[in-house]
Structure formats: C-alpha cells, structure tokens
Structure 1
Amino acid sequence: MKDNFSQKADEYAKYRPTYPPELFDYLDTLVTNKVNAWDCGTGNGQVARQLAKSFVTVYATDISKTQLENAHKAENIIYTVQPAEQTNFPDGLFDLIVVAQAIHWFDFDRFYNEVKRTAKKDAIICVLGYGMLQISEQIDEVISNFYKNVIGPYWDDERKYVDEGYKTIPFPFEEIQTPAFTNTKDWELDHLVGYLNTWSAVKHFINQNGYNPIDELRVQIEPHWAAEEIKPVSFPLLLRIGKI
C-alpha cells in the first residue's frame, strides 16, 4: 500500500469531505450485531468517528502514523499503525469492515484474505469512496481540464479505480444492491482550494516542478466564485457492499 497522505495530514483532516449520515444509517440496517467494526485505511478517522456511535468498539488502522495523530479521538476507537493486508487482529473479530477512499491503494488479494480471516460469519464489508466533485457547469469544466490535462500525468495508476467508480475493483463477496448516495457540502472557495491541495497528483506535480498548479487554477475559478460566497459542492458516492 502506498502512503501518499502523511505529508500535511492536518490539511487532509481539515479539507477532505465527510460522508453523509444517511449512509451510516443505511449501514446500521445491514449489520445486526454492532460489536466490533474495522475502519481500514482510516486516514483522519472520519468514518471511525461515525461508526463509534453505533458499535461497541471501532478498530481503525492506517499505515500513516501522521494521519492517525490528526485523527478524531474517542474512548471506543482504537487506532493502530498497520497495513491493510497484514494485521494483528484475531480471527473472526469484526461485524463490519469499512474501507473509505483507500481500497484502490491496496493489494486486493492479500487484503481480501485478511478480510475473510478477521470477519465474523455473515459480517458485512463496505467499500466506499467519492467521485469527481460537481459545482456548476463553468467551474466543473475548469476543474475537469485541470484534472485531465494539467495533473493527469501525475496521478498514480491506481487512480483509475476511482475514475471507474470502483466498478472494476475485484469484489469476491455476495454483493448487496445499494441505493445511490450523493454527498453535498457548502464550501467557500478557500475550502475548495484546500481540498484540491490534498490531491496526491497535485503533490506529485509540486515535487517534480517546484510550484503549485492550484494557484493558476484558482485564478481561473475566481470569475465564477465571488469572495466569501458559499456554494454547494456535490460528490457522488462510490459504494460496494457485500456479505462476507
């Protein structure tokens, strides 16, 4: 698993969108026994925080110690630095396993073996993420051009799984058909810029070229976004759920 997110982990925690409560309400209907959940690739702990409201104990893992240092803390969340593909958890521990915006970085076969080992009988796995943001026709066009043509060559190969809506990842489980969810946040332009700066391809671009391409992107967006104006920013959720 690659670690693209230890740098500036505080910005990741501040600017990355959280997931809608409706999603977790839906997950609650699928899981009968809410004892132990595993939030794998937890990052800033935003999913662990929501799971902690329903489960007795949430085990949250990530390979980035820096991310975990910036994660939300709660008495029933246990954070540990561990790779997704090899953990120290005992067999048959989890009622629910969630991977949010991270599975495309994993070794699928090794991770799924770990899922099957650590899951209880009839446990649920939820693979979760979000697609390209949508704001307005003009702004979307500017960001799409930036995404494809400016930083396009700097995306890791694994990004293709996000672009394909997680439909092409292997998923060797009894799949459950899910409703569609969209996550909408009200942001100022500064927050959008902060979010875009967390993109791994932007970091790769800066490392190779010595300047931040977001500066020019902001100039292109500003004619469509007044100072201190708040706009709704929508993210279509990527969702695969199955019975283990």
Structure 2
Amino acid sequence: MAGLFDKQAETYLQARPTYPSEWYSMLAAHTSHHSLAWDVGTGNGQAALGVAEHYEQVIATDVSEGQLSFAMPHPRVRYVHTPESMTEDEMVALMGGENRVDLITVATAVHWFDLTKFYKLAKRLLRKPGGIIAVWTYNDVVVGPEFNTISERLREKLSHFRSADANYAIDGYRNLPFPFESVGLGHEGQPMQLEIPKELLFEGYLKLVKSSSAFVLAKEQGVDLLSEEVIEELESSWGGPSEVRTVTFKVFMLAGTVAK
C-alpha cells in the first residue's frame, strides 16, 4: 500500500470521518494494562489521538510519508515512518520487545496489509494475557434513498479501478481472516456492526470520493469519474451545494486476543 494515499493525503484528512470516543473507551475496557498501544496504518493519526486518551504511550506507524506529514500532534503519540523494507525484528525492537503492546488498532487499513506477516507480528507484540487487537473499516455512506441510487452508479464505476485487497472492506470484513480469540466485539466471519453519523456539505461528499484509492487510480489512467454531468446530477439529488446532510458511515469491527 506504500504510496497509495500519498497524492490525496490532504483531501483524506479533510474528508474522512473521525471515530467516536466511545469506541476507544470500549476497547480500553478490554485490556488489562494501559501502558502501550500501537496504531498501525495511522495515516494522519485519526485513531491514534483517540487511543492516546486511554494509554500512556501510542506508537503510530505508517508506510506513507505523505500521510504522516499531516499527522496531528499529541504529547502521548509518537509517529514513526515504517517503510516496507523494515523487518519483523526491527518492528519488534521499535515497540521495545515482545509481549509489550496492550492494544493494537488498525482503522480502515488492515485490508492493505500482508495479513500473514502482520498477524504473526501482532501475536509477538501483544501482551499475553490481556492484550487485544481491533481492526475496523467502513464500506458505505448512507445519505438517502434517492441520492444512494445515483451514488451507487458511481460506486459501480469506481469498482473497476479498485484493488482486489479493497474487497475485504467492501464486504464489511466478513471474509477477512482474523486468527484471534473473540473478546465479544465481533469475530472472524461475523464483525460487530457500528455506525458513524457525520454532517456533510456536498463538497465534503466529493472530497470523500476523491480521497479513495480507486478514484486516484482511475484519474491516473485518464478516467475522470466525477465529470461535470455526474457532479450536477449528484448535487441536485443532494439538495444543492449549501445543503447540510447527515450521512451515516456503516462500520465493521473485529477485536480479539491471542488464544491461550
């Protein structure tokens, strides 16, 4: 995934939703200690900041230097660029050794990872017993029946430029391998379903589309999926550029611990 979101890093920061504070309280209640958390694929730190409210230190890592350049500072968050060339042992050393991480979070990113390697590393790093890993993603934005009918046509066109790895997210992580013991917050094959409400102007919706990897890949191939005609149709259905709509992001979470 290195470089996949570099070009639209600023748009990503502006368009993507923040995650509810209750989620971090819920996850923190399931860990036996609150010393160290690792936010993987942190991007601009959207999840790291919430995690930092419950843990003494958060190491927030990403392969994208472009995303990290927009990371939001916090006194308990340490942002680290981790290129794909980093070895497993180097990652363990970065975390201070094995069995030290109380919480691992991956917000809307784990589907881009080499899952076999990542899960092996996660099992080395998680505190045993008492450490947990939580991954989540959103795959749809519900606006309203009329708008959703029109936007679905755009989603279909985007799908032709979507990486195969993104299918895990499109399927709501229902098919995502997750070899961890359930802690009651979703499990392999049956993620916990959550929602994020967010108020958006139409411009915000357009930025959301433009922040997707599929949109950028299409544009690189000379295909502009947001033509003037498409934008006009979407804007009319939205209710105009000044209309504020409450949209709902559909979220799917899996959380677990290393089996005894």
Same fold per TM (> 0.5)?
Answer: yes
Q: Are the aligned partners of 2:158 and 2:225 in contact in 1 as well (CA < 8 Å)?
A: no
Q: Are the aligned partners of 2:44 and 2:68 in contact in 1 as well (CA < 8 Å)?
A: yes
Look up the SS of the partner of 1:115 in the other structure: helix
Gaps of 5+ in 2: 186-191
The equivalent position to 2:210 in structure 1, one of 197, 210, 214, is 197
Aligned: 1:242 with 2:256: yes
Structure 2 vs 1, CA of residues 7 and 168 (structure 1 numbering), >3 Å: closer, same or farther?
A: same
Aligned to 2:78: 78
Deviation at 1:201, TM superposition (A): 0.6
**Cα distance in 2 for residues equivalent to 1:151 and 1:164:** 15
Aligned to 2:221: 208
Q: Are the aligned partners of 1:193 and 1:214 in contact in 2 as well (CA < 8 Å)?
A: no
Aligned: 1:222 with 2:227: no
Look up the SS of the partner of 2:132 in the other structure: strand
Look up the SS of the partner of 2:252 in the other structure: strand
Report the TM-score when normalising by structure 1.
0.94
Aligned to 1:108: 115
**Cα distance in 1 for residues equivalent to 2:250 and 2:171:** 12
Gaps of 5+ in 1: none
Aligned: 1:144 with 2:144: no
Aligned length, in residue pairs? 243
Q: Are the aligned partners of 1:2 and 1:105 in contact in 2 as well (CA < 8 Å)?
A: no
Look up the SS of the partner of 1:145 in the other structure: helix
Aligned to 1:10: 10
Deviation at 1:236, TM superposition (A): 1.2
Mean CA deviation greater in 162-171 or 220-229: 220-229
**Cα distance in 2 for residues equivalent to 1:146 and 1:210:** 13
Q: Percent identity?
A: 28
Aligned to 1:133: 141
Aligned to 2:106: 99
**Cα distance in 1 for residues equivalent to 2:204 and 2:167:** 25
The Cα offsets for residues 44-91 of structure 1, whole Å up to 9 and x where unpaired, read as 101001011111000000001111110110111011111587323321
Q: Are the aligned partners of 1:175 and 1:241 in contact in 2 as well (CA < 8 Å)?
A: yes
Structure 2 vs 1, CA of residues 215 and 174 (structure 1 numbering), >3 Å: closer, same or farther?
A: farther
**Cα distance in 2 for residues equivalent to 1:197 and 1:83:** 25
Structure 2 vs 1, CA of residues 215 and 102 (structure 1 numbering), >3 Å: closer, same or farther?
A: farther
Look up the SS of the partner of 2:140 in the other structure: coil
Look up the SS of the partner of 1:192 in the other structure: helix
Q: Are the aligned partners of 1:196 and 1:214 in contact in 2 as well (CA < 8 Å)?
A: no
Aligned to 1:160: 167
Aligned to 1:45: 45
Deviation at 1:131, TM superposition (A): 1.7
Aligned to 1:174: 181
RMSD over aligned Cα, in angstroms? 1.6
Look up the SS of the partner of 2:207 in the other structure: helix
